[in-house]
Structure 1
Amino acid sequence: MKASLEAVGRFDPERARERLRKSFYPDHTAFIVVDGQRIGFYTFRPADEGFQLDHLYVHPSCQSRGIGSEVIRHLLSLADASQMPVSLNALRDSASNRFYQRHGFVQTAEDEWDIYYTRTPGVSGAQAGGA
């Protein structure tokens, strides 16, 4: 995550630690394991009006191999089964914004640091205008 923040000129160690502290839910956090190696994690939890994806991190050496897409499709299938939306926020200027848009997330708000998205149940990337 540090590399993503540095790439957009926004790495602040204290802010990053505080953000993780505020959005860390051990009971809703899982490792992403490939070939017996932990290569990432996600935090996906019930929220007031659906689900919240607080983190989806894949180690840079394992990115661009479809792993994140596989994970997000799995999480979205869980939300669809419950007919609940999924919300998240992504760092402004991060490539993750395109990733989430491709998976059917639509921007709902933004602030100085983040862009906020929601994906309604059953909406695929193609239906949302994604590739």
Structure 2
Amino acid sequence: MPVTLNRNSPVMLVLAQQSDLDDLAAIRIEAMRESLERVGRFDPVRARERFISGFEARNTRYIEVSGEKVGFVVVRHHPNEFLLDHLYVRPSAQGSGIGSAVLAQIFKEADVAALPIKVGALKESASNRFYTRHGFQFIESSEFDNYYVRQNVPAACPVC
């Protein structure tokens, strides 16, 4: 059943715990399945191992709507950039503005830090359109992925 966004169901980002690893890996596999099948690269064991190998709870937040965990986001803070390493929304909740609401929050954080955000997307994934629609600019591609950057937007200076 799709999640419906309204004023009474805000999108919340909640810090994940180390004990959430299995649930997070399952969300990743569910969200990536269609895109990976389209390019002939769906392997749930590999997808799980790849996620687990780089998991750091401190960078991971669940996406909750009406108390339901509908996805997660991983943002790694580097000295010169934010790396949007993962943004997954369960297929049943996609298309309802959840990803846009999450990006709006990440944009605010990056703009306060005055840092750009980099992200990669599987070449055949709809996420490429999602990121460009939200202001990310294509910078390069590899065999399987496209990479994008969104420059920070300086906050208006109240005393300038």
Alignment TM class, shorter chain as reference: 0.7 to 0.9
Is 1:9 paired with 2:40?
A: yes
Aligned length, in residue pairs: 123
Deviations 1:54-76 (A, max 9, x none): 11011100110001000001101
Shift of 1:47: 1.9
Query: With structure 1 as the length reference, what TM-score do the two structures score?
Result: 0.86
Unaligned segments of structure 2, at least 5 residues: 1-31, 155-160
The match for 2:86 among 55, 58, 72 is: 55
Query: With structure 2 as the length reference, what TM-score do the two structures score?
Result: 0.71
Contact 2:38/2:124, CA 8 A, preserved across alignment: no
The match for 1:114 among 142, 145, 149 is: 145
1-structure distance, mates of 2:79, 2:119: 13
Unaligned segments of structure 1, at least 5 residues: 124-131
Contact 1:42/1:57, CA 8 A, preserved across alignment: yes
The match for 1:45 among 76, 79, 88 is: 76
RMSD: 1.6
Radius of gyration: which is bigger?
Answer: 2
Contact 2:63/2:69, CA 8 A, preserved across alignment: yes
Relative contact order (alpha carbons < 8 A, sep ≥ 6): 1 or 2 greater?
2
Query: Identity rate of aligned residues, in percent?
Result: 48
Q: How does 1:115-130 map to 2 (within 5 A)?
A: 115-122=146-153
**Distance change >3 Å, CA 23–CA 115, structure 1 → 2:** farther
